[in-house]
Amino acid sequence: MKARVTVTLKTGILDPQGKAIEGALKSLGVDGVASVRQGKVFDIELSGSDKAKAEATLKAAADKLLANTVIENYRVEVLS
Amino acid sequence: MKSAVIVFPGINRERDMARALRLASGQQPAMVWHAETSLPKGTDLVVVPGGFSYGDYLRCGAIAARAPVMDAVRDFAGDGGLVLGVCNGFQILCEAGLLPGALMRNAQLKFVCRDVHLRVERSDSPFTRGYNAGQVIRVPIAHGEGNYEADDDTLKRLEGEGRVLYRYCSKEGVVDAPSNINGAAHSIAGIVNERGNVLGMMPHPENHVEDIMGCTDGRGLFAGLAAHLERAA
């Protein structure tokens, strides 16, 4: 099974990288960008075919390692 | 002072740290590999040194914080043992949940390597008793992710409980925006846990302990620890 974990910064956490990207987009002339916040995407291959079990595994992975829940939120998706 | 320096792959300040500890106490610290599951018997100070553990992959300190030896460090801290984390060590202690908050990318997005001034906020901690409260010391920093952030409640608690031990300041000891080298909340350079036995700090006091280094302002931290542990023994 293919799965994806998306990790983003919590609202209110300062994101200097996002700000720099936002500035770069503006200086490139990409119009209409109001703000940018950056994050991480993990594409994960899972063995087995139980979707509920897969989601539990992904949640455990995110809580234990992939995200720092002090500053980050995460979302898990089983893709196929 | 029987100290133990934890060594992770990618750490590069462990020998500087060991030298500073030996100079302060006359005793050679034990070097403890990350795969160990226990600390040497009689250890009274654990130091997590600086560097780039696991290449800073995922998040600075994230992988090291989950290494086998960290369970032993957590138990040691739980028993009231003194733990010092410097630079990457501070990041590792935050990731391990031993200290609150997190260290984010420097506000100016640059790796900064230079001397800074720190104001010692209190002198009644094992980590600051070698200094006077309000004293300004000069120590080097070398980090790209030292911008301390925590939620408002945590910051309020840190301040209310006097747990900020070191703060970035000007040469004269004034805490202001220009001297806040990485944009840290409240100019925080070093904090302790609730019990006061775990300190994390971004600057490197171990690199200002000998005359040949051009400054010895970092000595007080190690001398203070040695004096504290000698008295406790």
Looking at this predicted complex, what is its ipTM?
A: 0.83
User: What is this structure's pTM?
Assistant: 0.94
Beta strands in chain B (DSSP E): 3-7, 30-33, 45-48, 82-86, 102-104, 112-120, 136-143, 147-149, 164-169, 188-192, 198-201
Domains present along chain B, CATH in parentheses:
3-232 (3.40.50.880)
Residue A55: count of CB within 10 angstroms of its CB: 15
Nearest CA in chain A to B106: A16
Give the C-alpha distances (Å, rounded to integers) separating A53 from A5, A49, A63, B176, B220.
Answer: 15, 8, 15, 51, 54
Crossing angle of the two packed helices B219-232 and B14-25, in degrees rounded to 10 = 60
| B184 neighbourhood in chain A, CB within 8 Å | none
* Total domains in the fold of chain A: 1
* pLDDT above 80: residue B233: no
Lowest mean pLDDT among A8-17, B57-66, B110-119, B211-220: A8-17
> Average per-residue pLDDT in chain B?
97
The residue written with tokens 């500073």 in the block is: B20
Distance from CA of B101 to the nearest CA of A (A): 7
Distance from CA of A70 to the nearest CA of B (A): 7
Over residues B61-73, mean pLDDT: 97
**Residues of the domain holding A68:** 2-78
CATH number at residue A21: 3.30.1280.10
pLDDT value at position A75? 97
Whole-angstrom distance, CA of residue B83 vs CA of residue B195: 11
pLDDT value at position A12? 84
Give the C-alpha distances (Å, rounded to integers) separating B199 from A6, B12, B28, B85.
Answer: 32, 20, 21, 6
Whole-angstrom distance, CA of residue B145 vs CA of residue B208: 21
* pLDDT above 90: residue B231: no
